[in-house]
Structures are given as structure tokens and as C-alpha cells.
Amino acid sequence: MGILNITPDSFYDGGRLNELDAVLRQAESMLTAGAVLLDIGGASSRPGADAVPESKELQRILPVVEAIARRFPEAFISIDTWRAEVAVAALGAGAVLVNDISAGKLDLALYPAVAQADCPYVLMHMQGTPETMQTAPEYDDVVQEVLDFFIEETDKLRALGIKDIVLDPGFGFGKSVRHNYQLLQNLEVFSSTLDLPVLAGLSRKSMICKVLHVNPDRALNGTTALHMVALQRGANILRVHDVREAVEVIQLWQQL
């Protein structure tokens, strides 16, 4: 899953894709390198990010979804949003999957909208909100608490008729560095317990930068190392900024 952030303030690539031509070039590059999914987001969810008005989010993402769907009909487009109206509009424009950081908590209309659309849904765990999530996150047992969360929320989704669910433990979303590595080490618990695919969003995140004492621009090597660990622990989808490098990791892992 290649990341296309149409935002000025994302932690790594904010502001790089403000022009539609640049987005299309990046989309083509990712697809050529082997991306299967393109995840388009119009509101930054980095720690401390302020909420973007719905109208601005729609203004950012709709032309991009429409253009990519038209130019690259073979691409599977994911919309990264927690808003029901944005999800519905993006699905109408060509997206096929909803990737929600909030598990329906920030917009109670989202679960019903996904059920109505009958589309795949990425269920992510987050403690708090993007504004507050990294303010002293605390768990008694982070793996068990995230698993309990997945069990509870998948029951809700299935009750609404949503069956095509992907689990995302939410690395960096309301977790300390230690919490993140505990989740990574036990990633297979989620897929084996719930028999659902798992998405790992590790690319250039602070759990790498803080350990290696680098900024996101220098976190590719650490990202590559953790991608191999994630695959060995049962990850089915890698959400990445650097598609070619991630594809190479997958190719090597497949030889094991």
C-alpha cells in the first residue's frame, strides 16, 4: 500500500504532493514499483495535528481520487479518512476501501456508511485523538488491550454486515516506543485470534527515529528492517512511503 498524503503537514511527505501532476507522477511511480493499493489522505494524522475542515479535506482528495481512477484503472484506491461524508464521496469517485484511524469513534456515521457501501474497511487502534494521543500513552498490557479492542469492534462491524475487515494495531497512535515494539513482536496474535489480515504502518515512524536517533528522511533503512520483522510476524499489508524497497523486502521474505 503506497501512501499519498495530499496534505501540507504530514510528518514525512507533507507538502510534496500539492499539485495534481505531482500526485499522478508519484502514483505512477508507486504502481510501477509494485504497489497494489494507493492510500490517499487529505488530513494529517501526525501527533499533535489539528483537525482539517471537512470541506478542505474533500477539496484535497476528490480531484486526486478521480484522476488516479481515470488514469490508472488497475489501481485499488484506499481513502484514508475518519469522516463518513469524505469516505462516501471518495468511494463514489473511485476508491474501493476505507482506511480509518479512529475506528468510527470520531464520526459515528462512518460504520453505517461503510456497511451501506459494502466495501473493505481498515480498523485501526488509537488511544486518544491525533491532538492528544502521544501525551503519556499508558496500558497495563498493550497487546491484550489492542486485541480486546479488535474483538469488540469487529463484533460491531459484523453486526452491521461489514465482513471484509483489515486490522491495524496503529503503530505510533497513542503508544510509546516500547508499546510499539511489543505490538510488533506479537503481531501474529491479532491475525491468529481473529482470522483477519493485518496491516502494518511502520514507514519512517518515530519508533524508528527515536531508537536510531535519525529524522524521518534517514529512517528508510530502519523501516526496511522492521518491514521484514512485520512480515515474519504475520503482516499481510505494508503501508509504505517507499514502494520499491518494500517490494524487495517482500520478495526476499517469500524465499524464506
The one-digit pLDDT tens for each residue of the chain (256 residues) are 999 999 874 544 444 556 889 899 999 999 999 999 999 999 887 766 677 899 999 999 999 999 999 999 999 999 999 999 999 999 999 999 999 999 999 999 999 999 999 999 999 999 977 777 777 789 999 999 999 999 999 999 999 999 999 999 999 999 999 999 999 999 999 999 999 999 999 999 999 999 999 999 999 999 999 999 999 999 999 999 999 999 999 999 999 9
Domains of the chain and any CATH numbers = 2-253 (3.20.20.20)
Choosing from 60, 175, 204, 205, the catalytic residue is 205
Neighbours of 112 (CB within 10 A): 14
Q: Residue 142 in contact with residue 183, Cβ under 8 Å?
A: yes
Three-class secondary structure of residue 68 per DSSP: helix
Report the alpha-carbon distance of residue 173 to residue 101 in Å, rounded: 9
How is residue 53 annotated by DSSP?
Answer: P
Is 205 considered catalytic here?
Answer: yes
Angle at 167 between CA 37 and CA 28, to 5 degrees: 10
Q: Residue 78 in contact with residue 96, Cβ under 8 Å?
A: yes
Choosing from 175, 204, 233, 239, the catalytic residue is 239
